[in-house]
Amino acid sequence: MTTEQEALEHIRSTYPDLERWSQRAETAFHAAPGSKLAADDEDWKVLPTSQLVFGALSAAGDHLKAIRAHLDARTLFPFAQRTLIRTATLSAAQAVWVLAPDDATKRLQRSRIVRAEIYEQHLKYLNDLAVLAAGNDPNTTSLVDHIRRRRDEHEALRATTGDAGRFNATGIVQQAAAAALGSQAEVEARSEWRAGSGAAHGLLWVAFNRPGTQQSGPAADGGLADFAVAGSLSDIVNGYLLAWHLTGRGWRLLDQRSAPVD
């Protein structure tokens, strides 16, 4: 088992990448004219593929840096850091999943699935805002109409190719891990993803049989006992490194797809 010190050293070794990715995220990104990604962007110019993946990679790095901020402050959490890892993992996985295929048709299909999810979830949020506004904010009403129109136009585009694919977070993480690390990483990636989801939803099983969980009192006659739960670097290091690997692979794919084609 990895010790706490070894886990810390593994995580700290990624810090130069976190800084580099953070700097990249501060500057607007545009695919080079004549590149494969520039061609992909023509599919839906108002929310192009390049911006979907750039935004996702920026979000991934943002969450990884938040974990670093915790560690720099010498603060560990039994649930929150797994939640940050979960978001970093899915954010980076989206970028890898969209960009990994060499086949442009496959990239566009996947980009449309991610975009459809963005429109759908944004519209749900805006519909709630509209209820809260109770018709007193014309800007909210106008924005709801605008996003609904974009969603409908995008669905019409998807219908032209018979694409009815849905956003499946677990599948995206698993397939992205296979693309970045090989098929042997699929099960471990899925396991880490599920642990992060459990933490994000406040499900107590995440704390069971973990390095940071220790019995804090004597067992009663029935075998039940009190336990104390604390954060542990050895518990999160694999998930952290998965998110880091996916983020790095995503940035490399972004550079590859956005380079001019000879």
Average pLDDT over residues 176-186: 96
Q: What is the mean pLDDT of residues 109-122?
A: 98
Residue 90 CB neighbour total at 10 angstroms: 24
DSSP H or E segment with residue 215: strand 213-215
According to the model, what pLDDT value does residue 179 have?
Answer: 97
Whole-number Å distance between alpha carbons of 123 and 251: 29
Q: What is the mean pLDDT of residues 97-115?
A: 98
- How many whole angstroms separate alpha carbon 193 and alpha carbon 210? 16
DSSP structural state of residue 167: -
Mean of pLDDT values over 138-162:
94
Statement: residue 223 has pLDDT above 90: no
Query: Over the chain, what is the mean pLDDT?
Result: 95
| 156 backbone dihedrals φ, ψ, rounded to 5° | -65, -40
Residue range 227-261, pLDDT digits in tens: 888 889 999 999 999 999 999 999 999 999 999 98
Report d(CA 172, CA 149) in Å as an integer: 27
**pLDDT beyond 80 at 1:** no
Total tally of structural domains belonging to the chain: 1
Distance CA 113, CA 52 (A): 11
User: Could you tell me the CA-to-CA distances from 255 to 36, 127, 189 in Å, in that order?
Assistant: 11, 37, 24
For the question of whether the overall pTM of this predicted structure is more than 0.75, the answer is yes
Q: What is the mean pLDDT of residues 97-108?
A: 98
- Please tell me the total number of residues recorded for the chain in this structure: 262
Q: Looking at residue 214, what is its pLDDT?
A: 86
The residues, ordered by sequence, that sit 6+ positions from 136 with a Cβ below 8 Å of its Cβ are: none
Lookup result for tokens 């599920």: 194
Q: Average pLDDT of 11-27?
A: 98
Average pLDDT, integer, range 161-182: 96
Buried b / exposed e over 32-64, threshold 16 CB at 10 Å, is eeebbbbbbbebbeebbbbbbbbbbbbbbbbbb
Q: At 128, give phi and psi (nearest 5°).
A: -65, -40
Please write the tens of the pLDDT for every residue from 118-143.
Answer: 999 999 999 999 999 887 788 888 99
Parent domain of 9: 4-258
